[in-house]
Structure 1
Amino acid sequence: MSAVPPFEERSVPVEGGDLAVLRWPAASPDAPVVLALHGITANGLAWGAVAEALDGRATLLAPDLRGRAASAGIRGPWGIGHHADDAAAVVHALGAGGPVVLTGHSMGAYVSTVTAVRYPELFSSVLLIDGGVGFPPPPGLDGDALLTAVLGPAMQRLSMTFASRQAYRAFWQAHPAVGGGLWSDAVDAYLQRDLVGEETALRSSCVLDAVRTDGLGVFDPDHLGAVHKLPTPSRLLLAERGLLNEPQPLLDASRVAAAGVDTLRLPFEVIPNTNHYSILTAPGPAGRIADALIL
């Protein structure tokens, strides 16, 4: 079973509090630095399999974004732009002021596009993973309905309680995109990092207001437009399947084309036999990501 390699946990002052940052150091001081941003209800340990695949070829910095895991104590402000400012603060504090490689998964990919446009001097390249390209929402759909339509069970989980860590583990092991042959010690560690509270009433660390604000912020026209303005060499890796391991992925060639993405400036590749989660957490795809980060 793949396990998360040892990491350091650092703290970076940001507006509203201190941001927790997981740091996997490189074997050489001359190795590149990678800043990795997780998805909307995830945490920094989502990058554990990528850290293992990098195997010291780069220093990997993976913050718990504000409102999640060890950064849940930051009580706002929320929003994609604030995550971008936090990302810049991490580079200044732990990445020698850049330029570093920037990558993001899911919502983290949208944050990455905004961050790269806002702070072009800090980043040498951008790798987007199953996110960063989007569309305006259908007219007439209210905020909660929109988030439920996009995130589904992920939103419902934030209001649930669990009697034990094993109960939370069992909940995820039954998930069609995470359980079964996709389960590993690294996946377990990442998911367990999310839990707070006491046994009989454990819950997700994610601050619901933060998730709502960030989720709706993805559809902001300025944020959607950032992918068309990326100032550095960039690439996009897509999962073959969706959030629940369904055949329709979040993004595919037709959706990338419909969003008007210039694929000469942002070439994309579909990673076979992956879903929205396993593209990041399964050893094979994580190895593809690691190699792409240090090209």
Structure 2
Amino acid sequence: MTTSAPQDQQPPGVTPFEEWAVPVDGGELSVPRWPATVPDAPVVVALHGITANGLAWARVAHHLAGRATLLAPDLRGRGRSGTLPGPYGVDAHLADLRAVLAAAGADRVTLTGHSMGAFLAAVAAARTPRAFSSVLLVDGGVGFPRPAGLSPDDLITAVIGPAMKRLSMTFASVGAYLDFWRRHPAFEDSWSPWVEAYIRRDLAGREPELRSACSIDAVRVDGVGQFDDEVLGAVHRLTGPARLLWAERGVMNEPQGLYDPARLAAAGLSDTGTLTTEPVPATNHYTVLTSDEGARVIADRLLAAV
């Protein structure tokens, strides 16, 4: 099940990792794994966002520095799990998560997730609280009611319109795809080897028709699913230790982030009793995970939780 990526295939500048191939319904789930280098280290499972892949967590692994084992699966329909078939949605992702937990062989793990992955983490912890020692939500997991009168496609366009457009684009070369992302407002001032490794893992196909490895169908199903009542309410059913780290700026690096004190107050989080919230200054929705500052905070909070 475990394959160590050869040294010449490791992304330059990124902490070396193993590639796990975990059997799941319909094939194998690809799971980057950064093993601990100290005895009796805790295990952390990290779930990425709706159009991301497991290497989005590479810089967090760098700051964990071997003090925990980090497993960051490419979710079904993304990255090197991009060819896994449907059905997609919450139940499929949580079944895949159970397979990863079984492969890890740990009794209880710390669960974290970014963006859509945070919603999946909240649902998993609400359904099976004994499986997780604590939960860390990163700029996601706290939802707001679905706007009335919007069709599923309109809803997807409103939430992740630019990302959906990218999934239907083709690129003549790897360099062209990297340049596309370098111009993204979220990364203009924060490009790094960690970001580049994450972006490169997203590519599928061959030049001159490279494309994102993300399945459009998977993204559409999962995007609509984030507005399901169970998903929106999961954070209110958490019974164990949980924390939300939120970025000050938004998806396109705009001043308004997904969360702020007023929005969090309106979400009625006081009824959870276990969830604490914390801003991560000078980060946006992406760089809260991929920047040195954001990844350091995430790693510190994960280690504190375990």
Normalised to the residue count of structure 1, the TM-score between the two structures is: 0.96
Query: Which of 165, 172, 183 does residue 181 from structure 2 map onto?
Result: 172
Distance, in Å, in 2 between the alignment partners of 1:25 and 1:10 is 11
TM-aligned CA deviation for residue 51 of structure 1:
0.5
How much has 1:264 moved relative to structure 2?
4.4
Partner of 1:12: 22
- The counterpart of 1:122, out of the listed 131, 134, 147, is 131
Q: Is the 8 A contact 1:65 1:71 kept in 2?
A: yes
Give the drift of 1:16.
2.1
Structure 1 match to 2:242: 234
Give the Cα separation in 1 of the matches to 2:107 and 2:196: 32
| Pairwise CA distance, 1:109 | 0.1
CA distance in 2, matches of 1:223, 1:61: 23
| One-letter identity of the residue aligned with 1:51 | A
SS state at 1:23 partner? strand
Structural mapping, 1:139-178, within 5 Å: 139-178=148-187
What's the % identity of the aligned pairs? Answer: 60
In the alignment, the residues of structure 2 paired with residue 266 and residue 26 of structure 1 have an alpha-carbon distance, to the nearest angstrom, of: 27
Q: Indicate the SS of the match to 1:78.
A: coil
Give the structure 1 partner of residue 229 of structure 2: 221
Distance 1:255 1:81 in 2: 28
Secondary structure of 2:110's counterpart equals: strand
Q: Could you list the per-position Cα deviations for residues 241-286 of structure 1 after superposition, in whole angstroms to 9, with x for gaps in the alignment?
A: 0000001111122212222112742110111000000000001110
What amino acid sits opposite 1:273 in the alignment?
A
Query: Bigger shift: 61-70 or 81-90?
Result: 81-90
Match of 2:284 among 264, 270, 275: 275
- Who is 2:8 aligned against? none
C-alpha distance in structure 1 between counterparts of 2:257 and 2:293, whole Å:
19
Normalised by the size of structure 2, how large is the TM-score? 0.93
Equivalent pair of 1:129/1:238 in contact (CA under 8 Å): yes
DSSP-derived class of the 1:289 partner: helix
Aligned residue identity for 2:241: P
Q: Please tell me the residue identity of whatever aligns with 1:38.
A: H
User: Would the aligned equivalents of 1:128 and 1:237 in 2 still touch at CA under 8 Å?
Assistant: yes
Contact kept? 2:239, 2:274, Cα under 8 Å: no
Deviation of residue 72 (structure 1)? 1.2
CA RMSD of aligned residues (A): 1.2
Aligned 8 A contact 1:88 1:122 in 2: no
- The separation in 2 between residues aligned to 1:289 and 1:162, in whole angstroms, is 33
Q: What is the rounded CA distance, in whole Å, between the counterparts of 1:64 and 1:246 in structure 2?
A: 28
Could you tell me how far 1:4 is from its partner in structure 2? 1.6
Query: In structure 2, what is the equivalent of residue 29 of structure 1?
Result: 39
Report the count of equivalent residues.
Answer: 292
Distance 1:66 1:29 in 2: 31
For the 8 Å contact 1:88–1:119, the answer to whether it is kept is: no
Query: In structure 2, how many angstroms separate the alpha carbons of the residues matched to 1:281 and 1:45?
Result: 10
Task: Name the CA distance, whole Å, in 2 between partners of 1:119 and 1:185.
Answer: 36
| Residue 211, structure 1, aligned to residue 219, structure 2 | yes
- Which of 61, 66, 82 is the matching residue for 2:92? 82
Amino acid at match of 1:129: V
Alignment of 1:55-94 (within 5 A): 55-94=65-104
